[in-house]
Structure 1
C-alpha cells in the first residue's frame, strides 16, 4: 500500500498531512507585530505641548483632536457638533434610557396579575 492510496476528497496524501503535535503554521505571527489598532492607539497616546490661555500644557494627541473639534463646534460648525453628539451618544448610550422612567399603572399591574394567574393554571 503506497503513501497516496488513501488519498482522495478531503483526504490529502499522508506525506502532505500535518505531523501529530506539530503546528501547521510553526512561525506564526511574530511576537510584538503591530496592527493598525495598536499603531493608532500608540500614536494617539503620545503627548504634545499646546498653549492654553498663554500657558504651555502637555496633552495627548487624542485630547488635542477632541479640543480642536470642540472649538470648531463652539464656533458654530454644524458638522463638528454632529460628530461630537454622535461620539457622546455612542459612548454614553445608557444615560438616555436612565432618564426615561417607566410608569406601571394599577391597570397594568392588574393585567400582569391576570396573565400570571391564567398562566399558572395552564402549567398545573
Structure 2
C-alpha cells in the first residue's frame, strides 16, 4: 500500500479536506495584511526620532519629521518647485484637522464663529454679502 492510498491526516492544523476552503469565504477576514501594523509602527518610530539640526543659528534637536519639513521649506525658498508642491499638498491635506489639532486659539475661534453667524443672519434677513 502506498502513501497516496492512505487517508489524509486530520488533526492539529490539518482540518478535514471538505472544510478547508469554503467558496465565498476570505482566508483573511480581518482584511489587513500581515505585518501592515508593524510597517506603520516602524515608520512612526523613525519619523519621531530626535535628530540634531541648526535652526536660526542654534543647534537644536527636533523630530525627523520636523527636520524634513524644515528642509522642504528651505528648498522651497530656494525656488525648488517640487518642494513647494509637496509642502502645499501636505498643507491642503492637513486642512481637515480635528478640533484638538486646530491651530486657532479659543478667542480666535470664537471670533470666527461670531462673524460667520452674523453673516448668516444678515443673509437670512435679505442683506448682501460682506
TM-score by length of 1: 0.49
TM-score (norm 2): 0.47
For the pair shown, which has the larger CA radius of gyration, 1 or 2? 1
